[in-house]
Amino acid sequence: MSRYDTQGRAEIESRIRKTVVPERGQIPMFTYTDPGVYELEVERIFGRNWLFLGHVSEIPRPGSFVTRTMGEESVIVGRGDDSIVRVFLNACRHRGMRLACEDFGEVNNWRCPYHGFTYGSKGNFLGTFMGAPFERVAYPEGLDRDALHLVEARCETYKGLIFATWAKSGPSLDEFLGNSKWYLDLVVGRAEMEVVGHPERWMVPTNWRLPAENFASDAYHTATAHSFLQRLGMVKGVDFGRDGYHVDAGGGHGLGVGVHFDGHSYFPEELADEYAVNLDDGQNQTLSRLKNLHGNIFPNFTFLIPNFIEVEGRRVSGAMLRVWQPVGANKCQVWSWHFVEKNAPEWWKKLGRRMYTQTFSSSGMFDQDDTENWEMQTRSSDAALYRNEEFVLNYGMGLNMPTLEKDEFPGPGDVYDGKFSESAARTYYKVWRDQILEGHK
């Protein structure tokens, strides 16, 4: 049920239609914190896109589960006793109590803490006289077991990444990811990967879209916001974010591929054979000169190979995944996973953990810089909203930039030479606007 009447919704849609013009690089600031816009996003963006929930290594055994969020709804991501990964709304069919109140665990059955309705690991209400306490007495005429099956989302995996959607039909995960798969492979498909510990979580007073679009499209801020890297001598110059490629992968997915010119790979030699087996020639070639990679899968799933830095005299980076989980229009819960190659040498694993805590994590220096910017932008948006002015932001960088020819870079999508462009952000907002407005039909 909307908190806004039909008239209120129509007004918000009309304002978006008039003022969100990514084709000209124009995005109005009110969209960041307007509660009516947020309500439409929950319904039309989070209610139908494929959303990233976790990695298969987090639920290794039959019965393992983690609890995650899709939009505003708690879900259980569980491995059934048949080893299949499924995603259920975390709500009992009796009165809607959460079945799993823990972050993770292992179960044979789901027993509701309220009245004791019990479900199997495949989401099925258990057999006659096993599903409900005192069932013979309380329900002498029996219960419709099929109707009591847990609400299940469509779930698919790609290279161990678990996604789910509430859309009953529509593109498969493979179609949805499209060109971005080629780049995701560099982060999580290059070798057998495993999660290091449990994902970290922390709250940031920002609208969720600001970090998402930053990772999709904003290499430009690194020279100013993260100039500490150069001042501390961790990189040679503040232009470390420029060299490489800006990629509009389509579907609202965007990324930047940073390259170096040192003529040898920064990744551990010990893993070269495994990379060669898992990646094609173009991907291997790109990995061998990679110094950073950042991207975002629409709407709020970020992947990252942070800029290589020196730790204990060795160059090191890692693999990270992020979800920018909205908690209202101006608050966001950050979920952060750190990954490492399972067969990596010990020094890469150990220094990789150091690199993670120093760079992108709740204690990370990059996160301190970025968070402050997103928080202040969100406050500015609130102020603009309060004044009811059309404060239009400039997303015009690279508007007339030509794309590279297919023989100039091996990866798919619209690829631009140099990472300073906002093309991917413009596509992100085209997809965002179209989904919000199409939902009206």
* Residues of this chain that bind ligand FES (CB under 6 A): 92, 94-95, 97, 112, 114-117
Which of ligand FES, Fe ion, none sits in contact with 367, Cβ below 5 to 8 A by type? none
Rule CB under 5 A: say whether 370 interacts with Fe ion. Answer: yes
Which of Fe ion, ligand FES, none sits in contact with 218, Cβ below 5 to 8 A by type? none
Find out whether 268 and 348 touch, Cβ atoms under 8 Å: yes
Beta bridge partners of 326: 332
Residues 268-327 that bind Fe ion (CB under 5 A): none
Which of ligand FES, Fe ion, none sits in contact with 410, Cβ below 5 to 8 A by type? none
User: Least CB distance from residue 96 to ligand FES, whole Å?
Assistant: 6
Give the integer Cα–Cα distance in Å for 286 and 388: 47
User: Which residue, 96 or 170, has its beta carbon nearer to ligand FES?
Assistant: 96
User: Least CB distance from residue 114 to ligand FES, whole Å?
Assistant: 4
How far from 309 is each of 122, 129, 229, 439, CA to CA, in Å?
A: 45, 60, 9, 44
Which of Fe ion, ligand FES, none sits in contact with 95, Cβ below 5 to 8 A by type? ligand FES
Rule CB under 5 A: say whether 414 interacts with Fe ion. Answer: no
User: Which residue, 143 or 210, has its beta carbon nearer to Fe ion?
Assistant: 210
**Which residues, 6+ apart, have CB-to-CB distance to 45 below 8 Å?**
299, 432, 435, 436
User: What kind and span of H or E run contains 173?
Assistant: helix 173-177
User: Which residue, 96 or 282, has its beta carbon nearer to ligand FES?
Assistant: 96
Give the integer Cα–Cα distance in Å for 194 and 171: 28
Give the integer Cα–Cα distance in Å for 200 and 304: 15
User: Least CB distance from residue 389 to Fe ion, whole Å?
Assistant: 28
Which of ligand FES, Fe ion, none sits in contact with 257, Cβ below 5 to 8 A by type? none
**DSSP 3-state of 272:** helix
User: Which residue, 97 or 167, has its beta carbon nearer to ligand FES?
Assistant: 97
User: Which residue, 245 or 409, has its beta carbon nearer to Fe ion?
Assistant: 245
- Give the residue at shortest CB distance from Fe ion: 370
User: Least CB distance from residue 47 to ligand FES, whole Å?
Assistant: 24
Rule CB under 5 A: say whether 194 interacts with Fe ion. Answer: no
Number of residues that bind Fe ion (CB under 5 A): 1
Which of Fe ion, ligand FES, none sits in contact with 97, Cβ below 5 to 8 A by type? ligand FES
175 burial via Cβ count (<10 Å: 0-12, 13-18, 19+): exposed
Tell me how many degrees the CA angle 47-53-54 measures, rounded to the nearest 5. 170
Find out whether 401 and 415 touch, Cβ atoms under 8 Å: no
User: Which residue, 136 or 406, has its beta carbon nearer to ligand FES?
Assistant: 136
User: Least CB distance from residue 100 to ligand FES, whole Å?
Assistant: 12
Find out whether 331 and 203 touch, Cβ atoms under 8 Å: yes
- Residue 29 tokens, joined: 């600031």
User: Least CB distance from residue 373 to Fe ion, whole Å?
Assistant: 8
User: Least CB distance from residue 367 to Fe ion, whole Å?
Assistant: 8
336 burial via Cβ count (<10 Å: 0-12, 13-18, 19+): buried
User: What count of other Cβ atoms lies within 10 Å of the Cβ of residue 327?
Assistant: 14
User: Which residue, 95 or 406, has its beta carbon nearer to ligand FES?
Assistant: 95
Amino acid identity at 437: L
User: Which residue, 182 or 395, has its beta carbon nearer to Fe ion?
Assistant: 395
User: Least CB distance from residue 215 to Fe ion, whole Å?
Assistant: 8
293 burial via Cβ count (<10 Å: 0-12, 13-18, 19+): buried
User: Least CB distance from residue 149 to ligand FES, whole Å?
Assistant: 14
Which of Fe ion, ligand FES, none sits in contact with 370, Cβ below 5 to 8 A by type? Fe ion
Give the integer Cα–Cα distance in Å for 347 and 349: 5
User: Which residue, 62 or 116, has its beta carbon nearer to ligand FES?
Assistant: 116
Contact residues for Fe ion, defined by CB under 5 A: 370
